[in-house]
Amino acid sequence: MESVTTPPTTELRKTPLNALHRRLGAKMVNFGGWDMPVEYPGSGGLIAEHKAVRSSVGVFDVSHMGDIRVHSAGNTGSALAAVQHITMNDASKLALGQAQYSAMLYPEGTFVDDVIVHRLGQDDFLLVINAGTREKDVDWVKQNTKSFDCVVENLSDEDTQLAIQGPHAQDVLQKLTDAKLSLLKNYWFTHGTVCGLKNILIARTGYTGEDGFEIYVPSDAATSEMVWNRVMEAGKEFGIIPCGLGARNTLRLEAKMALYGHEISETINVWEAGLERYCKMDKGDFIGRRALERAKTAPRTRTLVGLEMCERGIGRDGYCCCNEAGEQIGVITSGSPSPTLGKNIALAYVPPAMAALGTPVYVQIRAQKCRAQVVATPFYKRSKKTAAGHTATNI
């Protein structure tokens, strides 16, 4: 749920916490047109941040993510119909307070963006979208819901979104809210008082493969900084540290969560990306459905697999994959060292014939072809929750 498509603007956008990140000495980068912290050398840097989330807790500013609300006046059901039309998962299955991973598709069955759909009310939905695709997504939603009697609102600039992630995320956030977090299941949300602020959306969601929460607080800098500081204070006993987009990327890669512009894009369809779990072909018509119906029976040319490097070398985004004969057969969509596994891992599109576990794949790293092999994904899966509702950690 993250995009790296850089819009053609020169003026970088800033989240309400930008000044705070700079005061913390964060290394800032242009991420999809946003001036964002990639890592905080003061808290130990990317690897330390990654490990903090896997073993304890970390906090991320993800205010660059966008939010679109789709609702109807008077519970007519037209907002639900609109959401069903523009997304591939079945939003009718959502209870109030529940969220689902989904995607908006082009008529070709390829991706406009991936989204998390939250059901705020009977006919009231919140779509959380990627930063770099904000304008495109808002236009897309507006254009394609015109025939439905519903209201589409772009709320992207109205809140600061913080992600508190890790096995101790609940311990930290519970100190700051009256909401009973232990009752909140994965991919459910509630509203509660957080740091004295009323009616704050608290969702048990994230992009790290770890337990955690995303909270949405008012976007003025003073409030945003107050909440950030209170979270840091509450997390002190657990060794909480601020985490940047660098760790966010390595965490989501280990968990095999798709990144827009990498594993999913306007040229990759749902079947190729392996996201059929979230695509409900029997829910009724939706944009992209017909093309997907056809693609389902057509021979597939590529499929997403996990790779592990067997030789020294790091396969990175965009590097070519070859077979033993040296012919190019695919490309890496995301690749990086895995701080949890201590190995170099990657996601790549390869022909289905080369997708079997253990298949050797050669990654072109500058002048060399380095051997890798297809491995099971996700690369990392957190252990199941214990009876106490806490999440044990794998490392």
Partner 1 sequence: MAYPTNYRYTKDHEWVNVAGDVATVGITDYAQHELGDVVFVELPVPGVKVAAGKTFGSVESVKAVSDLYAPISGEVTKSNGDLQNAPQRINEDPHGEGWLVKVQMSNPAEVNGLMDAAAYEAFIATQSKEASA
Binding site for partner 1 (CB under 8 A): 22, 27, 38-39, 41, 45-47, 246, 250, 312-314, 316, 336-337, 339, 366
Handedness of CA 258, 132, 134, 247 (dihedral sign): positive
CB of 46 to partner 1, least distance (A): 5
Query: Considering beta carbons, is residue 242 or 246 the nearer one to partner 1?
Result: 246
Tokens 């965009």 found at: 318
The values of phi and psi at residue 92, to 5°, are -70, -20
d(C-alpha 229, C-alpha 210), whole Å: 22
Query: Considering beta carbons, is residue 247 or 292 the nearer one to partner 1?
Result: 247
Query: Considering beta carbons, is residue 213 or 379 the nearer one to partner 1?
Result: 379
CB of 351 to partner 1, least distance (A): 27
Query: Considering beta carbons, is residue 12 or 151 the nearer one to partner 1?
Result: 12
DSSP reduced 3-state for 95:
coil
CB of 21 to partner 1, least distance (A): 12
Query: Considering beta carbons, is residue 167 or 313 the nearer one to partner 1?
Result: 313
CB of 375 to partner 1, least distance (A): 19
CB of 39 to partner 1, least distance (A): 6
Q: Which residues of 115-140 are buried (b: 16+ CB within 10 A; e: fewer)?
A: bbbbbbeebbbbbbbbbbbbebbbeb
CB of 134 to partner 1, least distance (A): 24
**Residues listed for the chain:** 395
Tokens 């003061």 found at: 42
Please give the C-alpha separations between residue 228 and each of 179, 249, 319, 351, in angstroms, as whole numbers.
18, 21, 38, 45
CB of 57 to partner 1, least distance (A): 20
Handedness of CA 347, 353, 354, 358 (dihedral sign): positive
Closest Cα to residue 36, out of 7, 65, 77? 65
Q: CB–CB of 28/36 below 8 Å?
A: yes
Query: Considering beta carbons, is residue 250 or 269 the nearer one to partner 1?
Result: 250
Please give the C-alpha separations between residue 237 and each of 172, 195, 232, 240, in angstroms, as whole numbers.
9, 18, 10, 8
Query: Considering beta carbons, is residue 39 or 308 the nearer one to partner 1?
Result: 39
